[in-house]
Structure 1
Amino acid sequence: MPDREKLKQQADIVSKQLEEHPDLPLEKRQALEKLVADLNFQLQMEPGAQSPSIADDFNKAAIEFESSHPGLAGAFRNIVTTLGSMGI
């Protein structure tokens, strides 16, 4: 599966998991929704034009949610891995 499709699927998984965690504080939920929206926006850009900071942002989110929401953290780490394989 091409990396772009894989990232789209992973972004969809994160969105679904956010729906399954209504206990997330509103501020954190909005930040994560923005992060997913940023990823979806970057997927529309030409290869090589994506910002490498998106991987850092997902990595920080993975660390932050590792203990409280390990499923989300795992999804974030999958995104970081896929971004890395794309050179982002």
Structure 2
Amino acid sequence: MPARLQQHLQQLSEELSGDTPLDTEDRAALLELMQQIDLKLARELAGDPDASLVDGVNLAVESFESQHPTLTGTLRNILQSLANMGI
């Protein structure tokens, strides 16, 4: 996994572990998204592309955009890293 993407995922993890005001359902959804990114990225790198990876991150951006701008910024950084990888 590229270092930049790893850094963004670590930042998201830290934000979720901190005092970010999220309800249990939203926090669980973001944690699941992080797991999906890890799994699907491994498949992408193995040559089995999955278009839903970027779609899932885009949905999370739309969902958290108005109430959680810091998380949204981190998710957008993840999207940019994936785009830079050609995903």
- Counterpart residue number, 2:16: 18
- Report the aligned-residue RMSD: 1.8
**Superposition TM-score, scaled by structure 1 size:** 0.82
* Alpha-carbon separation, structure 2, partners of 1:75 and 1:32: 12
Aligned length: 86
Structure 1 position 83 matched with structure 2 position 85:
no
Q: Which residue identity does 1:17 align to in structure 2? A: E
Match of 1:44, SS state, is helix
- Asked if 1 retains the 8 angstrom alpha-carbon contact of 2:44 and 2:50, the reply is no
Distance 1:46 1:26 in 2: 30
Return closer, same or farther for 1:50/1:17 CA change in 2, 3 Å cut-off: farther
Give the TM-score normalised by structure 2.
Answer: 0.83
2:2 alignment partner, SS class: helix
Q: Is contact 2:5–2:81 with CA below 8 Å preserved after alignment? A: yes
Q: Unaligned 5+ residue runs, structure 1? A: none
CA-CA distance at 1:58 after TM superposition: 0.9
Counterpart Cα distance in 1 of 2:48 and 2:3: 17
Give per-residue Cα distances to partners, 1:49-87, cap 9 Å, x unaligned: 342211111111112111211010000011111111212
Note if 1:49 corresponds to 2:78: no
